[in-house]
Amino acid sequence: MGTGRIDRSSALPFYAQLKELLLPQLGRVWEVGERLPGEVALCERYGVSRTVVRQALDELEGEGRIVRRKGQGTFVAARKVDESLFQSMTGLCEDVAARGSELVSAVRRLEFAPATADAAHELDVAEGSTLLHLERLRYVNDEPWALSSTWLPHYVAPGLLDEDLTRQSLYALLEDKYGVNLDHGRRLVEAVPAAPSVAEALGVDVHDPVLLLRSTAWDQEGRPVEYFTAYHRADRSRFQVHVRRSRARSGAPPAMLVSDDGE
């Protein structure tokens, strides 16, 4: 355990000091998934009350750095992957790789299928029209992270059925091989309870909260070329939004520019 001490002359509350002493040890002294010492042990080690320990642990839990399991103890949580919304049309594959982790996709479906109502609406085709349908369970460092369902018009990537999408980025493939010039997208994210099929795929309990991301992408000609939905584990993912205030014009509300991370 670390050698830090509580500074009793500091104006910083004891629980905040304890939190700062514990933070650098998470993932180092105690590895991801490893149980931390109990509350009594932490009290004795740092010379603080149980209330202070609990407040510090509450803060760490709220930030997603630890997981507390009733009757089992407190464990080091896996770090969440930041996914930016609406800035650069990069994909999860590039985003994860940039953070030094490995993304692998288990392709569950890659086929022609009739468009769902949502996919048809977003891609501006008739409901039931034949589209390319790609469903993947995405793993980060061998842990299930997201379950995605992607729809594309056939003309966008006519040879997609023959591609191996286990490790390569769909966006990079569309641009580099099929000449699709992705231009902009629209993303919506909301928290929803995990349906049984989603819970089973992601390894969470039924009705646990998951983050549902809906996305439509357009090319430089203004054609909708991709629509996807993706269920992300709420305990492993978070979405980072960058906003900038711009001057309102003619009484219009100020716009917010947000950053974007794609599929």
pLDDT tens across 132-168, in order? 999 999 998 888 999 999 999 999 999 999 999 999 8
Give mean pLDDT, residues 68-80.
84
65 — pLDDT class (breaks 50, 70, 90): confident
- The radius of gyration of the chain from alpha carbons, rounded to an integer in Å, stands at 22
Give mean pLDDT, residues 80-86.
52
- 14-22 helix and 50-62 helix, angle to the nearest 10 degrees: 60
pTM above 0.85, yes or no: no
* Phi, psi values for residue 94, rounded to 5°: -65, -40
- Structural domains in the chain plus CATH codes: 14-76 (1.10.10.10), 81-262 (3.40.1410.10)
Structure-model confidence comparison of residues 59 and 34, the more confident one: 34
Q: How far apart are CA 64 and CA 19, in angstroms?
A: 13
Give mean pLDDT, residues 54-83.
81
Give mean pLDDT, residues 80-105.
58
Is 56 in contact with 15 (CB distance < 8 Å)?
yes
Closest CA to 127 of 139, 113, 138, 147: 113
Q: How far apart are CA 256 and CA 244, in angstroms?
A: 6
Q: Are strands 81-84 and 73-76 parallel, antiparallel or unpaired?
A: unpaired
68 Cβ contact list (under 8 Å, min separation 6): 57, 61, 74, 75
Give mean pLDDT, residues 47-74.
87
One-letter amino acid for residue 150 of the chain: T
